[in-house]
């Protein structure tokens, strides 16, 4: 982010104190910040979840690994389902599901969800899944996705959900890295009126992931897909012998692995971010309760993310279900069949809490407020944002046009690694500032430090760090202790380095400024520059590639690639499309570069290092910085000439 943009942000002086009526009924009052750290997490550990055996010690902290709620025995699916049913809440709706094709709707009560989880768990057992068996899940936004996750947790089988937009290669890499033995997928998914061939992609992935010995397939579109005898099984007609109506939840140790979520880092290989059972569940449920002020008896909560990302894990599945919430789950895109689809959903179900990403807000902003105006949104009482820095304009638009100029907007900062929201307003307490995530959540110790790791005072800028563990923090990168230590803990000894730039204002409020490493944030999705570069050089015509992000009004950042073709070939429109498709094939459509600039040479220092700073300047159309260290200074000028913007891809 440029200095000018930062100054503009800090000059933002609109203030929105918590409305009095909201504050009066809020789950979190201002004294929540006064509770000592250990007392807070001890209390939440007892109140938010039910233990089969209580924990005997709160925290063991051997940097960089924390253990929480030691000695506790717990099962996530029991906490998300059985205990609510046992408490007489079986008839409460857990999910109000809305399919993308119009008119396809269903609802699942907690009792029904439990029954389906039990059934799938018993099917998985038949397929040999037990405690410790690793399962990959490759599903769209169908109810079988949370059902599959909960069925795994019921059996004590760690899972990894791979976003349905990822390629066969990405799915295979993740399955292989985790050592998955079973894959759960669906025939096809719906997206913007067309079908996405998940099973076909899964077949391709399985060809490269020989460890997967069984594949369970959910029927969604009903179109024919190949099924390999002996390996592939339909869920709907799977016969479990003597079909038991129960499946006892496996008592898990608080520190047993719950799931891996793969995310991009600064190398081509995605990291399997590990989350364990007890601390993760307590962290997700606690933040969900206080940040969203959840009243499970009356609220209709909607997190419009995809469960394939961490947001959906913590705030569509584990947090809300643990809290006994009623959630909306929507299968499709916001503009299908028209741009008022979200608002129709809010009106139909009487949604009270909406949680989404700045990219989506900016898309709605671009389409215009008339789509929201067609619907009665008066049921809403709280709005949330996550995934990327939210510009004050989008924040204020969200509040005015969706929130009737009266609702609190909570801008929540967190990461795949943090597992739970860490910096956020509390809606009944905090005075809101558009563009600021405001304060660390109770019990969280966040700071902004300079290059030397010294804390900067109010008004200062630098790097965001965390100085104390929190229950849902990652327990490391699966199988790669070294990478975990160097990525997060080496830069500032004793502190977790998040990879984000931040500033602190005079009141001590945090303003997040985006990534400071080689990770781009496109529509709230993390993609590493090196991952895209490797996908490009994998193409037979590409000699060299360098990738960087540029600011984009809609998606936050967009991907720009600078490509040198082999044998002095010149770029062409056909080659451009071919390379975009190649990246989509290697990683997934979300990683397609918006622009590709073909250039006979990349700017390099005399020692052969690609000068990324200069490429970023070109991509951002900024005046070029110092070029004197370049081996051939003329190269950049030529690239800048060639960097004629190409139409951005969806
Ligand atoms: O750069 C920050 C940005 O998203 C990154 C984490 O991405 P991911 O692990 O995919 O998780 C996204 C959903 C939690 C962070 O390092 N980010 C996330 N939320 C915010 C944000 N940047 C600014 N403000 C936020 N509220």
DSSP 103-136: T-EEEEEHHHHHHHHHHHHHHHHHTT--TT--EE
Q: What is the pLDDT of residues 578-622, one digit of tens each?
A: 999 999 999 999 999 999 999 988 888 777 778 888 898 888 888
The Å distance, Cα 526 to ligand 1 centre, comes to 8
Cα–Cα dist 188/203, whole Å: 12
The CA-to-CA distance between both ends of the chain, in Å, stands at 23
Choose which residue among 521, 531, 588 to substitute to test ligand 1 binding: the one with the highest number of ligand atoms within 8 A of its C-beta: 521
What does the buried/exposed string (b/e) look like for 90-122 if buried means 16 or more CB atoms within 10 Å of the residue's CB?
Answer: bebbbbbbbbbeeeeeebbbbbbbbbbbbbbbb
- Partners of residue 551 on adjacent β-strands: 557
Which atom of ligand 1 is found nearest the CA of 526?
A: 10
H/E stretch holding 101? none
Helices 168-178, 198-207: crossing angle, 10 deg rounding: 50
Cα–Cα dist 243/251, whole Å: 22
Length of the chain: 650
The Å distance, Cα 630 to ligand 1 centre, comes to 34
> E strands within 377-438?
382-386, 409-412
Choose which residue among 260, 291, 524 to substitute to test ligand 1 binding: the one with the highest number of ligand atoms within 8 A of its C-beta: 524
Which atom of ligand 1 is found nearest the CA of 411?
A: 26
How would residue 1 be classed by pLDDT, with cut points 50, 70 and 90? Answer: low
How would residue 648 be classed by pLDDT, with cut points 50, 70 and 90? Answer: very low
CA-closest candidate to residue 497, choices 478, 523, 477, 515: 515
Q: How many CB atoms lie within 10 A of CB 446?
A: 23
pLDDT for 346: 98
Q: Are strands 93-98 and 326-330 parallel, antiparallel or unpaired?
A: parallel
- Which residue puts its alpha carbon closest to atom 7 of ligand 1? 415
Phi-psi region for residue 568, left (φ > 0), alpha (ψ -120 to 50) or beta?
Answer: left
pLDDT for 647: 45
423 lines ligand 1 (CB under 6 A): no
pLDDT for 8: 67
264 lines ligand 1 (CB under 6 A): no
Cα–Cα dist 306/261, whole Å: 13
Max distance between CA atoms of the chain, in angstroms, equals: 77
Over residues 154-179, the mean pLDDT reads: 97
Going from the C-alpha of 325 to that of each of 302, 315, 389, the distances in angstroms are: 10, 10, 27
As a whole number, the mean pLDDT across the chain is 94
- Partners of residue 521 on adjacent β-strands: 526
Higher pLDDT, 569 or 647: 569
Token readout for 482 is 């070294």
Q: Which residues touch 589 (CB under 8 Å, ≥6 apart)? A: 165
Helices 573-586, 168-178: crossing angle, 10 deg rounding: 30
- Which residue puts its alpha carbon closest to atom 11 of ligand 1? 415
416 lines ligand 1 (CB under 6 A): yes
Report the predicted TM-score, pTM, of the whole model to 2 decimal places: 0.94
Cα–Cα dist 390/437, whole Å: 9
Angle at 96 between CA 95 and CA 102, to 5 degrees: 140
pLDDT at position 3 over 80: no
pLDDT for 410: 98
The Å distance, Cα 498 to ligand 1 centre, comes to 10
Cα–Cα dist 335/328, whole Å: 17
Q: What is the pLDDT of residues 614-623, one digit of tens each?
A: 898 888 888 7
Q: How many CA atoms lie within 13 A of 543 on its CB side?
A: 13
CA-closest candidate to residue 58, choices 156, 66, 275, 444: 66
Cα–Cα dist 298/287, whole Å: 18
CA-closest candidate to residue 141, choices 87, 196, 179, 182: 196
100 lines ligand 1 (CB under 6 A): no
Q: Are strands 189-191 and 194-196 parallel, antiparallel or unpaired?
A: antiparallel
What CATH number labels 512-645? Answer: 3.30.300.30
For the chain, which residues make up each domain, given as ranges?
512-645
pLDDT at position 264 over 90: no
Q: What is the pLDDT of residues 200-234, one digit of tens each?
A: 999 999 999 999 999 999 999 999 999 999 999 99
Choose which residue among 6, 313, 318, 413 to substitute to test ligand 1 binding: the one with the highest number of ligand atoms within 8 A of its C-beta: 413
Give me the residue label for tokens 């119009």. 102
Choose which residue among 444, 487, 500 to substitute to test ligand 1 binding: the one with the highest number of ligand atoms within 8 A of its C-beta: 500
């Amino acid at each position: 982010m440029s200095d000018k943009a930062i100054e503009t942000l800090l000059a933002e002086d609109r203030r929105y104190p918590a409305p009095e009526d909201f504050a009066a009924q809020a789950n979190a009052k201002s004294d929540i910040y006064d509770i000592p750290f250990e007392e807070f997490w001890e209390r939440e550990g007892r109140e938010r979840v039910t233990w089969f055996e209580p924990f005997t010690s709160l925290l063991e902290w051997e940097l960089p690994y924390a253990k929480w709620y030691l000695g506790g025995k717990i099962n996530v699916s029991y906490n998300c389902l059985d205990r609510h049913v046992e408490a007489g809440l079986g008839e409460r709706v857990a999910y109000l599901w809305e399919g993308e094709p119009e008119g396809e709707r269903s609802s699942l009560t907690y009792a029904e969800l439990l029954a389906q989880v039990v059934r799938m768990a018993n099917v998985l057992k038949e397929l040999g899944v037990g405690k410790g068996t690793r399962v990959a899940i490759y599903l769209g936004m169908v109810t079988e996705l949370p059902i599959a996750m909960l069925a795994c947790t019921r059996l004590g089988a760690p899972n990894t959900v791979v976003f349905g937009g990822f390629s066969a290669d990405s799915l295979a890499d993740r399955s292989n890295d985790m050592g998955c033995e079973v894959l759960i997928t669906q025939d096809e998914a719906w997206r913007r009126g067309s079908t996405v061939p998940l099973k076909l992609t899964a077949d391709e992935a399985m060809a490269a992931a020989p460890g997967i010995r069984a594949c369970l397939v959910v029927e969604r579109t009903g179109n024919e897909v190949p099924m390999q005898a002996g390996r592939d099984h339909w869920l709907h007609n799977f016969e479990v012998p003597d079909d038991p109506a129960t499946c006892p939840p496996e008592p898990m140790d608080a520190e047993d692995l719950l799931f891996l979520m793969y995310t991009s880092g600064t190398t081509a290989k995605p990291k399997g971010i590990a989350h364990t059972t007890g601390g993760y569940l307590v962290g997700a449920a606690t933040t969900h309760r206080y940040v969203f002020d959840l009243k499970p008896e009356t609220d209709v909560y909607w997190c419009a993310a995809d469960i394939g990302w961490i947001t959906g894990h913590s705030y569509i599945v584990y947090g809300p279900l643990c809290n006994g919430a009623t959630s909306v789950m929507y299968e499709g895109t916001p503009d299908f069949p028209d741009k008022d689809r979200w608002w129709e959903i809010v009106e139909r179900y009487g949604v009270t809490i909406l949680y989404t990403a700045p990219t989506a807000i900016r898309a709605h902003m671009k389409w215009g407020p008339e789509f929201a105006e067609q619907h009665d949104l008066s049921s809403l009482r709280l709005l949330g944002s996550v995934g990327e820095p939210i510009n004050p304009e989008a924040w204020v638009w969200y509040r005015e046009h969706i929130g009737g100029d009266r609702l609190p907007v909570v801008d929540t900062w967190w990461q795949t690694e943090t597992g739970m929201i860490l910096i956020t307003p509390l809606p009944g307490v905090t005075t809101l500032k558009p563009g600021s995530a405001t304060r660390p959540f109770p019990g969280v110790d966040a700071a902004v430090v300079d290059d030397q790791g010294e804390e900067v005072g109010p008004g200062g800028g630098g790097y965001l760090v965390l100085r104390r563990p929190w229950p849902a923090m990652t327990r490391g990168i699966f199988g790669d202790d070294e990478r975990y230590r160097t990525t997060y803990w080496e830069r500032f000894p004793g502190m977790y380095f998040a990879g984000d730039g931040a500033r602190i204002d005079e009141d001590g409020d945090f303003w997040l400024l985006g990534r400071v490493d080689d990770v781009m944030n496109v529509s709230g999705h993390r993609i590493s520059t090196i991952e895209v570069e490797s996908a490009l050089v994998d193409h037979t015509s590409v000699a060299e590639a360098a990738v960087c992000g540029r600011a984009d009004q809609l998606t936050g950042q967009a991907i720009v690639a600078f490509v040198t073709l082999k044998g002095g070939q010149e770029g062409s429109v056909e080659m451009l499309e071919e390379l975009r498709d190649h990246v989509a094939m290697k990683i997934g459509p979300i990683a397609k570069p918006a622009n590709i600039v073909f250039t006979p040479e990349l700017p390099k220092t005399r020692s052969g290092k690609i000068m990324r700073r200069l490429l970023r300047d070109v991509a951002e159309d900024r005046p070029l910085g110092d070029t004197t260290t370049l081996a051939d200074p003329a190269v950049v000028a030529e690239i800048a000439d060639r960097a004629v913007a190409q139409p951005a891809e969806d």
